[in-house]
Structure formats: C-alpha cells, structure tokens
Amino acid sequence: MKFLTAEPFRIKMVERIRKTTKEERQKYLIEAGYNAFRLKAEDVYIDCLTDSGTSAMSNEQWSALMLGDESYAGCKSFYRFEESVKNVFGLPYVQPTHQGRAADYIMAQVYAKRGMYAIGNMHFDTFRGNAEMLGALAVDYVIDDGANANDKYHPFKGNIDLNKMQSLIDEKGKENISVVIITVTCNNNGGQPVSMQNIREVSTLAKKYDIPVVLDSARFAENAYFIQQREEGYQNTPIKQITREMFSYCETATMSSKKDGLVNIGGFLTTRNKEVFEIANQLAIVHEGYITYGGMAGRDMEALAVGLQEVCDKDYLEYRVNQVKYLGDRLKMYGVPIIEPTGGHGVYVDGRKFFPQMLQSEFPSQRLVVALYEEAGVRAVELGACAFGSKDPVTKEPIWPELETMRIAISRRVYTDSHMDVIANALGEIYKNRLNYRGLKLVHEGKITSLRHFTAGFELL
C-alpha cells in the first residue's frame, strides 16, 4: 500500500500575511510604476518574487543561532560552518562571504579575463555583471532544448552543449577561454537541472584544454535530487554522495546560501586550489571581512552549518520539488503555458504564449506579473524582455531575448499547497480573459540596461 505523504515538518510559528482589495492593489501598482520590485512587501499576499533569502529556518537552526561565536578571528562558528561545507561539497578550502554575489565577485576576479571567454550554461546576472566589468566575454551554451521557453520534455534542460563548447575552443583557441561555469540548477531557464554525465563530460573536455571548471551552486541540492530521480544509476545513491560527486568535477564552487543553504543571508566560495583560496582570502579581507567570517555573523554561520545538512535530506527535497511540480500541474489544468518539466525552485510561465497579442516591446511577461498582483496580491518576477533585454552597443537598437517568462519562485518551507492553489486559480482566471489585456510601455530605465528591471517604470498601454 502506498501512503500519501505531506510536508516533512509541522508548523511552530506563523507570520500573518495581509489580504488587500483589488482597488488598493491598483493604487499600489500605480505608485510602484507597475514594477513588482517597487511594491511594499506588506502589500503582498503571497510573495513569489524570489526563493532567495526567504526560507523558513528550522527549530534546529534557530537554536544553533544561540551558539554564535562572534569573535573577530578564528571563531568556533566558522569551524562548524567549514566542516559542514566540506562534508557536503568535499572541497578542502572554504571562504565565507556575505552573500552569493560576493563569491561571484571573487570568482570573477580570479577566473574572468579581459577579452577572454567565460563559457556557461546560462550565467547568472551577478557573475555576468562582474565578468563584463572586467572585460570578459560571457557566453551561454545551454543545449537548444533549454534555450527557449517550451514544454518539450527533457530531463536535464540545464546541460551545456558540448559541441558548442568544442567549436568555441577550436575557433578561438584554448588560450582565449578562461573558465567554464556550470550553474546548478540553471536559474534563468526554469531552475532546470544539469546531469552528472554532463558535468563529467564538460569537466573532461575542459581538463583536456586546461580550462578550469566552476560550479555556481546556489541550488545544488535540488540539482542532486533531480539526478537521483532522473539519471540512470543514481536511484539508490544518497544525496550527499551525489553532491560530492558533482563537486569532484570542479576546481571551485560559489554558493548563495540564501537558496539551498536554507538561511536568510550568506554565501561562500570553496575550492581545491590553494592559490585561488589565498587570493579569495585577500579579496575577502578587503571587501567582506576577515577570512573566518567574510561578512557573516558567527550566528549566521551556525544556522548555515545546520541548513546545509537539512537541505540534503531526501524527504525535504521530495517535498520541495513536488510542491513546485504541484503548482505546475495545477496551472496546466487551467491551460496556462509553462516551461516543462518544472524545475527546482519555481514555475516559469511562457509570456509569449500567454499573451500572443503582445510584442516583446510591450513586455508580455511583465504585464502578467502586473495582472497576477492586481487580481490576487501574488508577486512574481519577470524574466524576459525587461530583465534580459539589451541594446546594440553602436545603434542602441533594442535586442530582445530568447526567453520571455514570468517566474513564480517558491520559498522553501514557507507556503502550503493551498497557497499554490490560490496562485493557480488566479492565473487560470487571467488566462481565460487573456485577450482583453494590452501590454506595457517602458517609461523609465536606469543607465545600466542589464539592471533596469529592478528600477524600471511602466505605464499601461
């Protein structure tokens, strides 16, 4: 007999969330320039803007906070955190940072080189920004099945296309490629996993040409769970054994602890290369803090040490990934077009298919973000024309991205399946009325186009 299972936790403390009226939300939207980042969190009913730093901590993590040793150098909390990282990642050197992008900054200083290529499946914005500031050329070589929003099944849509990687090496020469970065899971195209085979093959190819491999590992445990579920030969392999194998193929890994660290702030860089570690130590001293705290409080390192262990629990991961799938399945029931299969940390709705009447210059996915907040007080985020759009450096003509999605990111251990039902139902209703919507006009963007989604202002067309 197969028993049903539910969340592998019970709730000990609750936080009130406020319902608002549609009229109130229309007013808040005008005040926010139709940009969800500019809404006040207290005016949001279900917040799916991001899964970053929004996890609920466990009783074990809260009690670990009290053990925080706040000594400037060599605090006990650092050693507990370091041991936990080594246990999960298997790399010998660990540099804490205040969050993931600080580790990206250090990593870019080491691995991104002016005029040289940084190959990735899809680079996350914070590495890309750091790399581009250093004059490096960041290229995305995710497999074709993962390059656009579609519902075609592929178990590992985050994989790197080895042929594209080989061609670039042949064409430009290995001396012009400074690093390969594999983002696990691949955030930009739906939280899609990368297979162990792909990580292994990318690493073998890179090794052949002496190119270092880095894992951007913000959602490493979700990736490991997908490997266990979908990849031949891993069904009976424990999660931690999978994570250690994943990281055995890289020289360095960066981490945003705000995701699979199950904490609200923090990051780190871990490496097997002593020289890289020494550079990281010095950069940390200048930008983050002394080597053994790197911008984190001792108590936060304690909570992270516990979180890294909890996230490798198979029951937790099963609940986590299945909650995302549950939302995806409900949306499909309503006919809402989503990227399939659903990934690890959210559901990505295909903005172009949802609003076929809108051009990309009318920001269909952003329009959907606005509609979802207006109707149900649910905040999602646009990953499309506004976030990924760019401009031709010479003509300044807009360049529209391949991906046009709205991400509904699910916070870890925070919302119940009833909240998922509310989201699905609201989007289902909007979908029924989809032809009555018109797009948006971008009326304000800052100087740096790649950062405009945080501050942009829109008007309804």
Establish if 365 lies at the interface with ligand F0G (CB under 6 A): no
Distance CA 262, CA 144 (A): 32
Among the listed residues 95, 256, 360, 365, the single contact to ligand F0G using CB under 6 A? 256
Establish if 100 lies at the interface with ligand F0G (CB under 6 A): yes
**DSSP secondary structure string, 92-110?**
SEEEEESBHHHHHHHHHHH
Closest CB to ligand F0G among residues 49, 242: 49
**Cis bond leading into 185, ω under 30°?**
yes
Catalytic-role residue among 216, 260, 300, 350? 216
Establish if 126 lies at the interface with ligand F0G (CB under 6 A): yes
User: By CB under 6 A, how many residues form the interface with ligand F0G?
Assistant: 15
**Cis bond leading into 341, ω under 30°?**
yes
Among the listed residues 81, 124, 226, 268, the single contact to ligand F0G using CB under 6 A? 124
DSSP bridge partners of 138: 118
Contacts of 101 (CB under 8 A, 6+ apart): 126, 130, 256, 267
Catalytic-role residue among 113, 123, 157, 259? 259
- For 76, the 3-state DSSP assignment is helix
**DSSP secondary structure string, 308-357?**
HHHTT-HHHHHHHHHHHHHHHHHHHHTT--B-SS--SSEEEEEHHHHSTT
Catalytic-role residue among 98, 113, 345, 453? 453
Judge whether 124 counts as a catalytic residue.
yes
Establish if 292 lies at the interface with ligand F0G (CB under 6 A): no
Distance CA 102, CA 407 (A): 24
Distance CA 294, CA 292 (A): 6
Establish if 267 lies at the interface with ligand F0G (CB under 6 A): yes
Establish if 220 lies at the interface with ligand F0G (CB under 6 A): no
Judge whether 37 counts as a catalytic residue.
no
Establish if 216 lies at the interface with ligand F0G (CB under 6 A): yes
Taking contact as CB under 6 A, which single stretch among the options 30-38, 96-104, 235-243, 453-461 is the one that binds ligand F0G? 96-104
Establish if 77 lies at the interface with ligand F0G (CB under 6 A): no
**Nearest CA-CA partner of 48 in 404, 329, 426:** 426
Catalytic-role residue among 64, 218, 371, 376? 218
Closest CB to ligand F0G among residues 182, 338: 182
Judge whether 125 counts as a catalytic residue.
yes
Q: From the CB of residue 74, how many other CB atoms can be counted at a distance below 10 Å?
A: 12
Judge whether 218 counts as a catalytic residue.
yes
Distance CA 260, CA 266 (A): 11
Among the listed residues 28, 36, 68, 101, the single contact to ligand F0G using CB under 6 A? 101
**Nearest CA-CA partner of 57 in 296, 417, 411:** 411
Binding stretches for ligand F0G (CB under 6 A):
50, 52, 99-101, 104, 124, 126, 183, 187, 216, 218, 256, 258, 267
Query: What are the catalytic residues?
Result: 72, 124-125, 216, 218, 259, 453
